[in-house]
Amino acid sequence: KGANNESRGALVVFEGLDRSGKTSQCGRLLSYLEGLGHSVELWRFPDRSTSVGQMISAYLTNKSQLDDHTIHLLFSANRWDKRSLMETKLKAGTTLIVDRYSYSGVAFSSAKGLDFEWCKAPEIGLIAPDLVVYLDIPAEKAAERGGYGGERYEQLEFQRKVAQHYKLLEDSSWEIVDACQTLEVVEKQVKEIVLEHVTTCQKGKALSSLWS
Ligand code: Z5A
């Protein structure tokens, strides 16, 4: 085992449209991994607790207006704020389950019409996930789940565009799960996929960076 291949925690990211079930599945996965005795934490982006996060939250709830480029960079800064803590935790053996990450950043901003490559640029150098679980659901179906609230982006036509842009980001770290299945079926599939990656990282795997 080389110095770069030390045992570590896994970086597991959940992505998908609004109401695809990310938050529900992240919670269930956390309990499951904890039950198996793993060191594990649940994170989410945007992290609304930081000062940058509060600006993002005001924007999402329509309390403030920002240029599309500006808000894009704030979402990215919100992740950069956490990059070094993320590395420390992973190297200390803690698995991180992360509800939304750079893929949301690019899919949402490019769906507004911003240049795709421009959107990816500020994410370069963030830690690459070991696994991206994409909860796949048509925008129409997601909208039926309790309906959308009043936050910006929670509109059917826009969610359709976001889905199209997500597809352009798919790479070998992605596992697509059919999110139209019941919560329990999705949960079972997610557990199996994630456990495999947690084990691989425990055995030793180098960290890598976006986008590679
Ligand atoms: N955004 C961005 O533009 N740029 C970025 O860089 C980042 C984010 C990071 C806020 O995100 C917005 O920020 C988001 C993207 C943008 N805008 N949108 N849209 P957020 O994470 O704070 O909010 P959210 O993603 O919209 O979270 P959500 O509404 O909580 O959705 P979810 O986590 O995917 O779903 P859920 O809460 O688990 O489930 C929703 C409902 O469906 C709930 O009633 C469940 O009980 C039900 N559900 C879940 N699974 C099932 C199944 N399998 N069957 C039936 N019902 C189910």
Beta strands in 62-201 (DSSP E): 95-99, 131-136, 174-178
For residue 108 and ligand 1, the question of a CB distance below 6 A is answered with yes
Q: Which atom of ligand 1 is nearest to the CA of 45?
A: 9
Report the distance separating Cα 189 and Cα 91, nearest Å.
Answer: 27
- The 8-class DSSP code of residue 138 comes to -
Query: What fold is seen in the domain 3-203?
Result: Rossmann fold (3.40.50)
Contact of 101 with 45, CB cutoff 8 Å: yes
Tell me what pLDDT residue 4 has: 65
Residues with Cβ within 8 Å of residue 45, at least 6 apart in sequence: 75, 78, 79, 98, 99, 100, 101, 104
pLDDT tens for the chain, 212 residues long, are 445 678 999 999 999 999 999 999 999 999 999 999 999 999 999 999 999 999 999 999 999 999 999 999 999 999 999 999 999 999 999 999 999 999 999 999 999 999 999 999 999 999 999 999 999 999 999 999 976 777 888 899 999 999 999 999 999 999 999 999 999 999 999 999 999 999 999 999 999 999 97
Mutate to test the pocket of ligand 1, among 13, 14, 17, 22 (most ligand atoms within 8 A of CB): 22
Tell me what pLDDT residue 2 has: 47
> What amino acid is encoded at 112 in this protein?
K
Tell me what pLDDT residue 1 has: 44
Domain edges within the chain: 3-203
Task: For residue 40, give both structure tokens.
Answer: 């594990």
Tell me what pLDDT residue 173 has: 98
For residue 193 and ligand 1, the question of a CB distance below 6 A is answered with no
Tell me what pLDDT residue 149 has: 73
Tell me what pLDDT residue 3 has: 53
